[in-house]
Structure 1
C-alpha cells in the first residue's frame, strides 16, 4: 500500500470517527453520578467511542482498531523509547510495521485539564507519527469547555517551542467533540 492509499484509508477512518462520535450518548459523554453533577470520565468515553467505531469500521476495513495497545513487548519501539506507551486508540495492522495508520489520544477538555498530561500526549502522538511511521496522529478533545481547547493549543505551542518542533505538528491534527450525539470537528491548532 503506497502513502496515497494510506492517506485515503486515514481519511476513511476520520469519516468513521465523525459518525461514531454522533452515536456517543450523554451518559457516556458525561457520566451521571449519585453525589454530584455528571462528570467527564475518559475511560467511559473511550470505551463507548471504541464500540461505536468497531460497529462502523467492521471487518473489511483493512486495518484493525485497537484500544490501549500496550507496547512493552515491542523491541523496535523500545529503541524509540515508545515501549512504555499505550495509546488510547490505534488503527493498524498488528505485526506489520508498514501497516501503521492512525494513532488517537483522547482527553476531556474540562476546567481540570492537566498540562503535563497534554505534553505527554503530544509527545506520544509526535513520536508515533515521526518514528513509528503512523500516517496520522489525532488529538481528540471532548467536552463543552472551549477554554480547554485554548489551553491545549497554548500548551502545544509552548511544548513545540521547547522541543524545537515546528508548530503546528506535521500530521498531528486536533479534533473537538463538543457535545453528545454530535459529530467531531477538526479545529485549527492556531486560533
Structure 2
C-alpha cells in the first residue's frame, strides 16, 4: 500500500471518529450517571465508518473472526478478535485497518498492553499472517499519557516497545465533550485528538 493510500484511509477513520456524537463517549443515564459503554461507542463508530466507506469496495466490520486459523500456533479462543476492521472480504492481502477500543477511565497498563499485542499480531507482515497495514488502539475518556506516566516501568517499557512497531499508534481522546459558553455540547474536532507513536514517548 502506498503512503498516499494509507493516509487516505487514516483520514477516513479520523473523519468517522470525529463524526461520533460526544454523547456516545459516555452514555447519559438516569440520576445524572454516565456509562462509559465501549460497545455502544464501538457500534456508533462502526456506523460512521460504514457511512464513509459506503459505495467503495472496502468493508468495515465489527469483531470479525477473520483468518485467525491461518496464524502460526494460533489457539482457538476469542482473545485475538479486534473491535473493528476495514478490509476486503476473502483475502489476507487487502486488510487495511484493525482497531481496538478502550473507553473506561479505569483502563490498566496490562489491558493496554494486551490490546497492543493483539494489534501487533494482526499487523505482522508476511506469509501466514493477516497483514493489516494499520493498527490503532483508540483510548477515550482518559489521558493515555497520564496512564503511561502512572504505570510501572515494566509496563511503560513494554508499551513503548510495541508502539515502536511502525504500523501501530494510539489515538487518544481524553476529553470528548467540548462545551460552549452556553453549556451545550459541541461536535468533536481535531483539537480533541492526539495521535501517539513510539517516537512520541
Q: What is the TM-score normalised by the length of structure 1?
A: 0.79
1:179 paired to 2:185? no
Partner of 1:102, secondary structure, is strand
What is the correspondence of 1:48-127 to structure 2 with a 5 Å cutoff?
Answer: 48-60=44-56, 62-71=57-66, 74-77=68-71, 79-81=73-75, 84=78, 85-108=80-103, 110=105, 112-127=106-121
Higher-RCO chain (CA-CA 8 Å, sequence separation at least 6) = 1
Structure 2: give runs of 5+ residues left out of the alignment.
178-186
Structure 1: give runs of 5+ residues left out of the alignment.
none
How many residues matched?
182
Q: Which moved more, 1:50-59 or 1:8-17?
A: 8-17
Q: Name which one, 1 or 2, has greater alpha-carbon Rg.
A: 2
Find the aligned partners of 1:107 and 1:120 in 2 and give their Cα distance: 11
Partner of 1:98, secondary structure, is coil
Displacement of 1:19 in angstroms is: 1.6
Displacement of 1:21 in angstroms is: 2.1
Q: What is the TM-score normalised by the length of structure 2?
A: 0.76
1:149 paired to 2:145? yes
Match of 1:40 in 2: 36
